[in-house]
Amino acid sequence: MQISSRFTVALHIFACVEYFKDKCKVTSDFLASSINTNPVFIRRILGQLSKAGLLKVMRGTGGIEITRPLKDITFLDVYKAVEPIEDGALFHFHENPNPACPVGRNIHSLLDGKLLSIQNAMEDRMKEYTLDDIREGLGEIIGGKDS
């Protein structure tokens, strides 16, 4: 299983918006340059983050604002905004296991609770990290440099 790059790109977006907020106007083209990807991909993610109420994107003149204090936005908030999961379940189970087969008939009862436990553990860990952790870490790495 692999989570798509949307999640890490979204975290990169927040890092850029925070770091460059007083240095320059942050636009989708600017972000695409930093992330080294297509601006259309960035605009899609910005739309998801905006819809989730995490960012405010100013159209036309450009610019992006983070809508809440960084300490109040968890990695889970960002993940849920850009990685929508069907029916709230991280693991997608094959639809119709064969009820005539003893394994197929019982596979859900064997795995459902375990998979839910794994998802809950991941989500609990994601709640422990906030965008403020990224800001602090970036400050430690870059320090007073403007690079």
Q: What is the CATH number of the domain that holds 110?
A: 1.10.10.10
Condensed to tens digits (0 to 9), the pLDDT of residues 57-107 reads 988 777 899 999 999 999 999 999 998 777 777 887 787 899 999 999 999
- Distance in angstroms (rounded) separating the CA atoms of residues 16 and 23: 11
Q: What's the pLDDT at 147?
A: 47
- Domain assignment of residue 10, yes or no: yes
pLDDT class of 118 with cuts at 50, 70, 90: very high
- For residue 1, is it within any domain? no
Strands 64-66, 55-57: pairing is antiparallel
Domain that residue 11 falls in: 6-142
Does residue 96 form part of some domain?
Answer: yes
pLDDT digits (tens, 9 = 90+) for 82-96: 987 777 778 877 878
Among the listed residues 20, 35, 133, 116, the one whose alpha carbon sits nearest the alpha carbon of residue 78: 133
What pLDDT is recorded for position 145? 56
- The domain tally of the chain equals 1
The pLDDT of residue 31 is above 80: yes
Asked if the structure places residue 78 within a domain, the reply is yes
Please tell me the predicted confidence (pLDDT) of residue 144.
57
Does residue 147 lie within any of the structural domains?
no
The helices-and-strands tally (H runs, E runs) of the chain is: 6, 2
* pLDDT score at 101: 96
Asked if the model's pLDDT at residue 56 lies above 80, the reply is yes
In the block, residue with structure tokens 């989570």? 3
DSSP letter for 100, please: T
pTM: 0.86
Q: 47 lies in a domain? A: yes
SS3 43: helix
